[in-house]
């Protein structure tokens, strides 16, 4: 179920809404003032990377883990 982030055009409140797959027609209201004058905003993605996992080097996709090399002899 996706989480969408909205900003109220009336009070500038930023809030999140957890939606179900079939809820396209569901009306979203501001969680602070109840206004229906809202705008969907693009929220930053969240990715977690272990510090032990090296970043792939540019142009060397065959050296990246998971690209066919298993590291077994």
* Residue 7 in tokens: 């900003």
Predicted pLDDT of residue 30: 95
Predicted pLDDT of residue 19: 78
36, 27 contact by CB (below 8 A): yes
For residue 33, what are the domain limits? Answer: 1-43
Higher pLDDT, 36 or 57: 36
Residue 10 domain-assigned (yes or no)? yes
Residue 33 domain-assigned (yes or no)? yes
Residue 2's CATH number:
2.20.28
Give pTM, 2 decimals.
Answer: 0.54
Higher pLDDT, 4 or 73: 4
Please write the tens of the pLDDT for every residue from 5-19: 999 999 999 999 987
Residue 17 domain-assigned (yes or no)? yes
């Amino acid at each position: 179920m996706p989480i969408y982030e909205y900003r109220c055009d009336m009070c500038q409140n930023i809030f999140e809404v957890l939606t179900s797959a079939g809820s396209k027609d569901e009306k979203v209201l501001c969680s602070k003032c109840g206004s229906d004058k809202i705008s969907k905003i693009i929220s930053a993605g969240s990715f977690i990377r272990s510090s032990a996992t090296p970043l792939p080097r540019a142009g060397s996709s065959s050296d990246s883990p998971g690209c066919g090399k298993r590291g077994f002899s």
